[in-house]
A = this chain, B = another copy of it.
Amino acid sequence: MKKNNKHVVIIGGGFGGLTAAKAFEDANAEVTLIDRSNHHLFQPLLYQVATAGLSPADIAAPIRAILRSQANTEVLMAEVDGINVQDRLVLMKDRQVSYDYLVIATGATHSYFGRDEWRRFAPGLKSIVDATTIRRNILLAFENAEMEPDQEKKKAWLTFVMVGAGPTGVEMAGSIAELSHKALKSDFRHIEPAQTRIILVEAGPRILAGFPEDLATKARKKLETFGVEILTGARVEHIDESGVAFSNSKIPARTVIWCAGVAASPAGKWLQAEVDRAGRVKVRPDLSVPGHPEIFVIGDTACCVQDEKPLPGVAPVAMQQGRYAASIIKRKIDGETEVEPFRYRNHGNLATVGRSFAIVDLGRIKTSGFIAWMAWIIVHIYYLIGFRNRILVMVEWGWAYLTFQRGARLITIDEQDKNGDKILKNM
């Protein structure tokens, strides 16, 4: 490490943090990227791990390996507990790291809107552990249904509820429909997997609120042809192991998946900065924190207002912000003071609904169907990090497309714990 070089610390190895780190290649700076996990996760495909289509390693790459040849960069696998903004220190359990510039890209987590007790019964989908937990729940539901003699109880095992009809809820619903109607079709003797009820619950007036209404309507119709039931304007009042309750009705269901609220990581608290309702730090037009021109907050952790609306928590925003923050820091290191504000360029939105059907919103051009689905595949394969993962995912998808089968249908049960209960583990 050159002694006089400025030290840039990046917290988080998601789309924002990793893009920022890569932008410092060959820069006059020493970079430390800190993440609590050892891998960068390709979150847009996480629902495929949750529905047994892909293996965890297919959509995750070690951060160290990605940044291996970037000699000015080191990677620390550690959990950040706080930030000392006065002394410019990032605080971890048993160490601290000083910084000249700090990029916070710690992402978001689930929000249960104050009902954290629902988490147990309705896990969300943010990490690989989340995905393998949901995969296990779904696969075990079919196993339990197979062995359940009581018809009502069997129905509850075969009912899957997605709470929240954004892209994740829609993708999960389509993918569970395909899994149950196709992949598991002939595997059971005492249930018809086609009996499965898949219910997409949305508090708002329609699904896919981030997409234009005509595309959302097409997605809705497609989901209905897959047998997915859609309940809009339905506000969940209660969730427990027996199912989901609304103000005047109840759905008995043993598998509920939380695809609704997200909340930013605790970066706002660390910085004692002003946050929005979702806990995101309100940043200045150059993504820095008011009063701290050396600290930048990007991605899902930031509330960045553009054209009077906060930018959505999607990968392209995080990546553009990461690249921008790195360029600003490099220019500041070089002594420049004038910077133009960050501006997000929306190249388009994509969502897939199931086999052979997606919707694409490119602003002027809107399309849906098979062509949109091919576009979705190409974009996702292209952005998947690591040559190997791309080939593996293509093999898995090709195989799945031709055979309707899912490759990663694994349930693992560990030994019994001290109370004699089975401990379920994930893969």
Query: Footprint of B on A, CB under 8 Å?
Result: 36-39, 55-58, 60, 62, 64-65, 68-69, 74-79, 95, 127-129, 132, 139, 143, 146-147, 184, 186-190, 387-389, 391-392, 395-396, 399, 403, 405, 407-414, 422, 425-427
List 23 A–B pairs whose Cβ atoms lie within 8 Å, in order of A's numbering.
A36-B413, A37-B411, A37-B412, A55-B56, A55-B58, A56-B408, A62-B409, A62-B410, A64-B188, A68-B186, A69-B186, A77-B411, A79-B422, A95-B147, A128-B410, A128-B427, A129-B413, A387-B399, A388-B395, A391-B399, A392-B392, A425-B426, A426-B427
Residues of B within 8 A of A132 (CB): 425, 427
**Contact of A39 with B410 in the complex, beta carbons under 8 Å:** yes
| Nearest Cβ on chain B to A81's Cβ, whole angstroms | 11
**Contact of B426 with A405 in the complex, beta carbons under 8 Å:** no
Choose among B39, B65, B426 the residue that contacts A187 (Cβ–Cβ < 8 A).
Answer: B65
Residues of B within 8 A of A146 (CB): 76-77
Q: Measured between alpha carbons, how far is A187 from B64 in the docked complex, in Å?
A: 5
SS of A interface (majority): mixed
Q: Measured between alpha carbons, how far is A395 from B399 in the docked complex, in Å?
A: 14
| Nearest Cβ on chain B to A152's Cβ, whole angstroms | 17
Q: Measured between alpha carbons, how far is A76 from B36 in the docked complex, in Å?
A: 39
Q: Measured between alpha carbons, how far is A425 from B123 in the docked complex, in Å?
A: 15
Choose among B56, B187, B396, B405 the residue that contacts A427 (Cβ–Cβ < 8 A).
Answer: B56
Identity of the chain B residue whose Cβ is nearest the Cβ of A411 in the assembled complex: B38
**Contact of A413 with B37 in the complex, beta carbons under 8 Å:** yes
Residues of B within 8 A of A36 (CB): 413
Q: By CB atoms of chain B within 10 A, which of A62, A75, A186, A409 has the most? A: A62
**Contact of B129 with A425 in the complex, beta carbons under 8 Å:** yes
**Contact of A147 with B78 in the complex, beta carbons under 8 Å:** yes
**Contact of A65 with B392 in the complex, beta carbons under 8 Å:** no
Q: Measured between alpha carbons, how far is A79 from B411 in the docked complex, in Å?
A: 14
| Nearest Cβ on chain B to A293's Cβ, whole angstroms | 29
Identity of the chain B residue whose Cβ is nearest the Cβ of A92 in the assembled complex: B147
Residues of B within 8 A of A414 (CB): 129
Knowing that A55-B56, A388-B407, A391-B395 are A-B contacts, what are 16 other residue pairs whose CB atoms are under 8 Å apart, sorted by A's residue number? A38-B411, A39-B411, A55-B58, A56-B412, A56-B427, A57-B408, A57-B427, A64-B187, A68-B186, A68-B187, A127-B412, A128-B410, A388-B396, A388-B403, A388-B405, A425-B425
